[in-house]
Structure 1
């Protein structure tokens, strides 16, 4: 045996396997898949031990701050709206602008990685995210803050798919699922800590620190990550990008989102402005669908939706995640505006749902190998529906302890839906279309969050006004209440103001009850619809017809 043969024999079996499949597609286990056509050289040996642990920590931290920024602002919306003399619905633009911008970058992440190199994209994204986070904290008007949040979302959007792909490159095949599982824990921990951390910052040193917090973390990960991963850089490839499809995508998504965000202020479809946005959105959407179906290199390959299982699982994720995220937005808004709680308290209430969720995630992954995933997902959504429906009997006298049980139930149920739906949805599409399928899944998940935010705030505002109008009619017969208050020392004007404040508070709780009923109905119908999905054999088996 010569020296070269002896040296090859010492390489781990996993690395020899990698060498045997050089140039094959490297697919993601969860989220967006990016295909690398690097035929010129093999990547370095996979990382081991300390270096691998450090790499997973850096990528997890990078992903953590991106996901954190989708929820850390939720409880601070009243503070932000107050700082800029804006309404709560206008304050939620800070959330939706970030979500829409992040959604639009998902389809182009693969192109960016191939065109500039995956490590360079990771580094630039993190440093840009740090820069725009700092500028968000310095914003002097709501309009500037929204613009900077868009730029922040565009910067952070590629980080999740890029991190996933890097893990595929650096982890030994035998440890890949474990490393990916550890990294996925950020998607559970970040939404839990976001509301609590945002509430504490908003109530103490100010909401702007929710943005300043990102700066040292993102900058450190960007600089350190470059030196850690530069040996795993991908070869630059010049692939064509579907600019027309991207432009049409931006037009219909942005127009539709602006319509949702501003419709309440313009009397909805009584306004020519809102009607124009609707027409532009619908027209651009249909042109987008036609173009993407017929283009040779579509930015979003909609043809994968011809697979019934994948199409249904995509709709399931869209409606379920949208309803769930809407509840995340509505609950802290009502607690602060309707009940007078602090942002810290509202964040604490939301954070309770994650306490058991982190522990339940490994169990959900284990049970997927034993039972029908449809049963897990359907049962989980029914628990979510029941927990959210329990909020429909809220009253102004409710105590914080009454939130605990529903929140804990939500925390337990979440992994039993999201782990199976994310893991199994791609199995309905052929391997050659996994990249397109995962792109659509990630896009719809982020778009659902943006649409749900605008829709739920608008619905709550409209319902509150309607309920208040009904209560004002009742107040016409409230002379006895006014006399009683004046006898207790209030002036007539003060009694009227007190009665009006009480009616607004009651209108808010009645409106929030109605919205929670509607959200629970969406979740219950989605739970029933899950049984339309083709059956998947346990342990990631084939589709059973």
Structure 2
């Protein structure tokens, strides 16, 4: 019993570590950007590269587990994750950090699914709900403490320590699994892996991500490599779809999309991924760069909503057990997300921590209402044999939505920045008495500090420019929240076309286990 509980604690700790790393970096992005001399657009690759790596590795996790042995693959993944954590912390330029962050994501891909399988194995069939509850609480603990822990570390140490904290956890998990982790009771059958499909997916997603991330900065198709990457992305993804529909053992079984319910759920899940990752990406930037919050304060404003999300997760599970259709729970999640974006879009540069924390409650509770119900809805019309593929495809869509969403929102932000800047600057003229009054007040302030008139005037203009930049950034981020909210509003009517078929208890177990 002691060894069993220790193994459960170990694999749960490894899973929580992986989830913490998915969110802990968000509150440190501004510090990374300044310390490494990179733009926020470039720094966003620290987040998206991790998501892309997950998209690539998750479909082949079962193959690697069967081929290498679960024990070897799991321990090897923790080793890769831990070593790359060290290398991320030691990186002295943004692209080295992005590279090791990508490899870290490849290592972290096994930690969730294998940890989940190990925990479920430790309980008999009649207590699978207990296993699900233990893993579910762990899954929500990581994102909950990630931003707060990251804020504390950045405030009291420096941003590399958000990666170095993984070292003791990783070492403990490696040693513990070496002595406690065994092979599964039923050995998986090694199937032929679809390496062609994986390569096409990786190339297509990687090039498209680059186009979305760098297109606006590089003036889109005026730049040669953007043109070529666009062509490569279109060809790779088109061939990927054709190839996956043609072969008998695809890495992503697209044939299950013949189900209208799954297709709709995949779209809703993609939009959910866009909203989840984009909102948690730009909120810390606003809090730190525009409102002057410390990283710790930024982490703290995310904590109340994250804690309530655990309660909301239990409520949504209880409602589904009582027979409430997941359609209604998903609709409620969507409504909460829409309200969150609307509320955030009405911020000002005087917004308080309480205002943002209140807004984030709706985001976090909405996330909890979408987690399991969307997966349940996705597979509700599938045959039992297709449920694992449908659930895996649905989860992949969430990751893709997250990585693409951050890139798209960055591009949208830059475009709106130019619009708002031109609008604000056009009203700043020397004939405007309010403008002249502001400039003269600043000039008098700097002259009182000992500067001559010319230097004082130069500093006054620079101060006005800084205020314009700050206001422009805030307006652009508010537009971004409006855009995110619009995505949810436009796709929510798709729920009207969903029909849910009741599944057997065994099918429900597959859904929970995969999630």
TM-score (norm 2): 0.91
Q: Tell me how far 1:488 sits from its aligned partner.
A: 4.0
Partner of residue 251, structure 2: 299
Partner of residue 165, structure 2: 213
Aligned: 1:486 with 2:443: yes
Q: Tell me how far 1:245 sits from its aligned partner.
A: 1.0
Partner of residue 200, structure 1: 152
State the secondary structure of the residue aligned to 1:186: helix
In the TM superposition, what whole-angstrom CA distance separates every residue of 1:35-78 from its partner, at most 9, and x where no partner exists? xxxxxxxxxxxxxx544433322221111111111110011111
| Aligned equivalents of 2:440, 2:462: Cα separation in 1 | 13
State the secondary structure of the residue aligned to 1:429: coil
Aligned: 1:179 with 2:136: no
Partner of residue 506, structure 1: 471
- Which among 37, 46, 52 is matched to residue 100 of structure 1? 52
TM-score (norm 1): 0.86
Partner of residue 452, structure 1: 405
| Aligned equivalents of 2:355, 2:47: Cα separation in 1 | 28
- Which among 268, 271, 276 is matched to residue 223 of structure 2? 271
Q: Tell me how far 1:242 sits from its aligned partner.
A: 1.1
Task: Give the total of aligned pairs.
Answer: 495
State the secondary structure of the residue aligned to 1:475: coil
Question: Closer, same or farther in 2 for the Cα pair 1:325/1:377, shift >3 Å?
Answer: same
Aligned: 1:434 with 2:387: yes
Aligned: 1:361 with 2:313: yes
5+ residue gaps, structure 1, are 1-48
- Pairing of 1:79-94 with structure 2 (within 5 A): 79-94=31-46
Partner of residue 134, structure 1: 86
Partner of residue 395, structure 1: 348
- Which among 303, 308, 315 is matched to residue 260 of structure 2? 308
Q: Tell me how far 1:355 sits from its aligned partner.
A: 2.1
Partner of residue 413, structure 1: 366
- Which among 332, 335, 340 is matched to residue 379 of structure 1? 332
Q: Tell me how far 1:454 sits from its aligned partner.
A: 1.8
- Which among 2, 5, 12 is matched to residue 60 of structure 1? 12
Q: Tell me how far 1:280 sits from its aligned partner.
A: 0.7
| Aligned equivalents of 2:199, 2:149: Cα separation in 1 | 36
Aligned: 1:260 with 2:225: no
Partner of residue 484, structure 2: 519
Question: Closer, same or farther in 2 for the Cα pair 1:266/1:89, shift >3 Å?
Answer: same
| Aligned-CA RMSD value | 2.1
| Aligned equivalents of 1:189, 1:255: Cα separation in 2 | 33
Question: Closer, same or farther in 2 for the Cα pair 1:414/1:538, shift >3 Å?
Answer: farther
Contact 2:49/2:102 (<8 A) preserved: yes
| Aligned equivalents of 2:50, 2:477: Cα separation in 1 | 25
Partner of residue 146, structure 1: 98
Contact 2:380/2:502 (<8 A) preserved: no
State the secondary structure of the residue aligned to 1:355: helix
| Aligned equivalents of 2:254, 2:32: Cα separation in 1 | 38
Aligned: 1:239 with 2:188: no
| Aligned equivalents of 2:299, 2:418: Cα separation in 1 | 26
In the TM superposition, what whole-angstrom CA distance separates every residue of 1:476-516 from its partner, at most 9, and x where no partner exists? 24233222332444521111111111111111111111111
State the secondary structure of the residue aligned to 2:181: helix
Q: Tell me how far 1:231 sits from its aligned partner.
A: 5.3
- Which among 467, 476, 489 is matched to residue 420 of structure 2? 467
Q: Tell me how far 1:272 sits from its aligned partner.
A: 2.5
Runs of 4+ in 1 over 6 A off after TM superposition: 538-543
| Aligned equivalents of 1:221, 1:356: Cα separation in 2 | 29
Q: Return the structure number with greater helix share.
A: 2
Contact 1:97/1:149 (<8 A) preserved: yes
Partner of residue 512, structure 2: none
| Aligned equivalents of 2:4, 2:127: Cα separation in 1 | 10
Contact 2:60/2:251 (<8 A) preserved: yes
5+ residue gaps, structure 2, are 448-455, 509-515
